[in-house]
């Protein structure tokens, strides 16, 4: 559902291969890729668009590489120099896979059309495995449904990055998916989420418990997953996650519905109060921005998280000494406890979109192209950049600017 089989993308008629010089470097949310290409078919080289890609992979039971694309540097059409080589390089936003696993890193040379590179001509596997240092969930996690709300609880949230490296805004989000999550891009329904602030490197929050407004789910059986997401230049990115073993069943509206459901991972988690080791602190209270949406058979529309006014602190940053982390602070830098953070509580907008309007997250290219002012090319670009949490994010799609967005905003839905 989320990983791609690299072997299945490799073409039998490559136009170029990776030469003897190639590499990558990652700094924060940016990846730098470079390679010297050995040209095999110069004509084919100039008749396609090219890209260097960085993948985080794991081998399946048959030894084939299953990967999640971390970064992609578009190169456009290429030409060989008099020696039959082509040096290429560039930078791109890095989107490493969520979780704390160790991955095999692969550099790939791919071709296709701009933004859609479906053929791999050559790839190289780096010998040293990579583990990405990201904010993470530790200990028991859980959720508990109430009346139009869900309570999300985590024993610890830690930032193992070096001291002084403050995270982007972190958010806890409960998602309903068709299958268990394994990292990378995903499609599903947001059940509820809350922004909880930024966390300094080598610090942690303990006994986090926050409430979020819930959105209606369609009838069916869902896999629930709690995600820790971080704001980056590419928007909110999943940094860690925990799948819940028990499926969440939503019965049709005419049947009797269960009012309260409790699930937990690792250990049953009762409703928790935020209780830092240093001093007690009450969990921030949330106030819905709009009236709760009625439960319906249709899947809820994607929602946009908007910052709310500051509330009482729900969590408190702890110094590195209070918990084990994967990286120690540098000797020259004294690891200090992050100040108590105020939970930036976000109400979830549950206003349903009109069913008659094409959905930018679900509709086909033909359905989107039926929107007045939206070309087939732009419709395909919108599909390629999914998913969206708000219509404002449509400007991420190639060819969709502010003017076009203003023109089609009232003609599409999430």
Nearest C-alpha neighbor of 301 from the set 388, 174, 228, 381: 388
Nearest alpha-carbon partner for 388 in 363, 354, 355, 357: 363
Residue 137 has pLDDT above 60, yes or no: yes
The per-residue pLDDT for 114 is: 83
Given a cut of 60, whether residue 282 has pLDDT beyond it is no
Question: Residue 225: is its pLDDT beyond 90?
Answer: yes
pLDDT of the residue at 187 = 87
**Cβ-contact 412, 406 below 8 angstroms:** no
Q: Is 382 helix (H, G, I), strand (E, B) or coil?
A: helix
Task: Give kind and range of the element (H or E) at residue 346.
Answer: none
pLDDT reported for residue 186: 86
- Chain segment 311-327, per-residue pLDDT in tens: 333 344 343 333 333 33
- 2 C-beta neighbours (distance < 10 Å), count: 17
Report how far residue 154's alpha carbon sits from residue 322's, in angstroms, rounded to the nearest whole number.
16
pLDDT band at 154 (very low <50, low <70, confident <90, very high): very high
Please name which of 190, 183, 262, 176 lies closest in space to residue 220, comparing C-alpha atoms. Answer: 176
Task: Give the model confidence (pLDDT) of 97-121 as tens digits.
Answer: 888 888 899 999 999 988 889 899 9
pLDDT value of residue 378: 84
**Chain segment 43-77, per-residue pLDDT in tens:** 888 889 999 999 988 866 666 778 889 999 999 99
Three-state SS at 212: strand
3-state secondary structure at position 28 = coil
Three state DSSP letters for 132-183: CCCCEEEEEEEEEECCCEEEEEEEEEEECCCCCCCCCCEEEEEEEECCCCCC
**Cα 280 to Cα 294: distance, rounded to the nearest angstrom:** 36
Structure tokens at 309: 């006014």
Q: Tell me the mean pLDDT in the region 283-300.
A: 35
Both tokens of 125, joined, read 């596997």
Query: Which tens digit of pLDDT belongs to each residue from 161-175?
Result: 889 889 999 999 999
Checking if the pLDDT of 334 tops 90, the result is no
pTM: 0.51
End-to-end CA distance of the chain: 21
Residue 282 CA to residue 273 CA, distance in Å, equals 7
Band the pLDDT of 202: cuts 50, 70, 90.
very high
Instruction: Give yes or no for a contact between 213 and 192, defined as CB atoms under 8 angstroms apart.
Output: yes
């Amino acid at each position: 559902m989320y990983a791609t089989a690299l072997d299945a993308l490799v073409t039998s008629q490559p136009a170029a291969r990776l030469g003897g010089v190639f590499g990558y470097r990652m700094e924060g949310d940016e990846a730098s890729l470079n390679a010297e290409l050995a040209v095999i078919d110069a004509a084919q080289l100039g008749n396609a668009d090219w890209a260097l890609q960085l993948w985080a992979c794991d081998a399946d039971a048959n030894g084939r590489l299953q990967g999640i694309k971390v970064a992609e540097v578009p190169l456009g059409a290429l030409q060989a120099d008099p020696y039959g080589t082509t040096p290429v390089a560039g930078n791109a936003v890095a989107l490493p896979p969520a979780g704390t696993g160790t991955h095999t890193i692969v550099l790939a040379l791919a071709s296709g059309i701009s933004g859609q590179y479906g053929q791999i001509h050559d790839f190289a596997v780096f010998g040293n495995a990579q583990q990405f240092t990201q904010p993470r969930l530790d200990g028991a996690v859980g959720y508990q449904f109430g009346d139009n709300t869900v309570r999300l609880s985590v024993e610890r949230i830690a930032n193992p990055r070096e001291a002084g490296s403050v995270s982007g805004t972190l958010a806890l989000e409960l998602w309903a998916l068709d299958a268990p999550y394994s990292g990378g891009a995903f499609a599903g329904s947001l059940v509820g989420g809350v922004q909880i602030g930024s966390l300094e490197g080598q610090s942690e929050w303990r006994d986090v418990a926050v409430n979020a407004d819930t959105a209606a789910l369609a009838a069916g059986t869902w896999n629930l997953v709690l995600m820790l997401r971080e704001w980056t230049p590419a928007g909110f990115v999943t940094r860690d996650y925990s799948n819940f073993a028990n499926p969440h069943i939503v019965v049709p509206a005419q049947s009797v519905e269960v009012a309260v459901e409790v699930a937990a991972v690792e250990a049953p988690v009762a409703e928790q109060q935020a209780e830092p080791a240093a001093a007690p602190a009450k969990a921030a209270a949330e106030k819905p921005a709009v009236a709760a949406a009625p439960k319906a058979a249709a899947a809820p529309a994607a929602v946009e998280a908007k910052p709310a006014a500051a509330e009482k602190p729900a969590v408190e940053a702890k110094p590195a000494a209070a918990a084990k982390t994967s990286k120690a602070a540098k000797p020259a830098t004294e690891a200090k406890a992050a100040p108590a953070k105020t939970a930036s509580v976000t109400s979830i907008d549950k206003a349903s979109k009109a069913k008659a309007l094409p959905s930018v997250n679900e509709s086909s290219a033909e359905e989107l192209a039926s929107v007045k002012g939206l070309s087939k090319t732009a419709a395909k670009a919108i599909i390629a950049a999914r998913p969206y949490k708000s219509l404002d994010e449509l400007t991420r799609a190639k060819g969709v600017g502010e003017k076009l967005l203003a023109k089609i905003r009232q003609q599409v839905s999430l």
